[in-house]
Amino acid sequence: MYSWTVGDFKISRVLEMPVEIGVLDGLIEEATPEAVQGLPWLAPDYANSAGQLIWSLHSYVIDTGSKVIVVDTCCGNGKSAPLIPAWGNLDNPFLERLAEAGYDREQVDVVLGTHLHLDHVGWNTMDDGGQWVPTFPNARYTYAEDEYNYHRAIADEGDISSDLAGAVVYDGANPDIHNQQRLVFEESIQPCIDAGLLDLVPSGHKITDGVTYVSTPGHTKSHQSVMLESEGQRAFITGDFIHHPCQIGEPSWQSHGDFDRALSAAQRADFVKKYADSDLLVLGTHFAGTSAGRITHADGGFRFVPA
> What are the residues binding Zn ion (CB under 5 A)?
119, 240
- Taking the complex as a whole, the smallest distance from the CB of residue 230 to Zn ion amounts, in Å, to 26
Instruction: State which residue, 87 or 132, has the beta carbon closest to Zn ion.
Output: 87
- Taking the complex as a whole, the smallest distance from the CB of residue 212 to Zn ion amounts, in Å, to 21
Cα 50 from Cα 40, distance rounded (Å)? 11
Instruction: State which residue, 171 or 229, has the beta carbon closest to Zn ion.
Output: 171
Q: Is 233 helix (H, G, I), strand (E, B) or coil?
A: strand
- Taking the complex as a whole, the smallest distance from the CB of residue 297 to Zn ion amounts, in Å, to 28
Contacts of 274 (CB under 8 A, 6+ apart): none
Instruction: State which residue, 63 or 237, has the beta carbon closest to Zn ion.
Output: 237
- Taking the complex as a whole, the smallest distance from the CB of residue 301 to Zn ion amounts, in Å, to 25
Which H or E run contains 176? Answer: helix 175-184
- Taking the complex as a whole, the smallest distance from the CB of residue 170 to Zn ion amounts, in Å, to 11
Nearest to 255 by CA among 294, 297, 290, 216: 216
For the CA atoms of 17, 20, 21, 24, what is the dihedral angle to 10 degrees? Answer: -90
Report CA 236 to chain centroid distance, whole Å: 12
- Taking the complex as a whole, the smallest distance from the CB of residue 77 to Zn ion amounts, in Å, to 17
Instruction: State which residue, 9 or 184, has the beta carbon closest to Zn ion.
Output: 184
DSSP characters over 7-34: TTEEEEEEEEEEPPTTTTTTSBTT--HH
Instruction: State which residue, 97 or 244, has the beta carbon closest to Zn ion.
Output: 244
Parallel, antiparallel or unpaired: strands 301-306 and 292-298: antiparallel
Instruction: State which residue, 117 or 303, has the beta carbon closest to Zn ion.
Output: 117
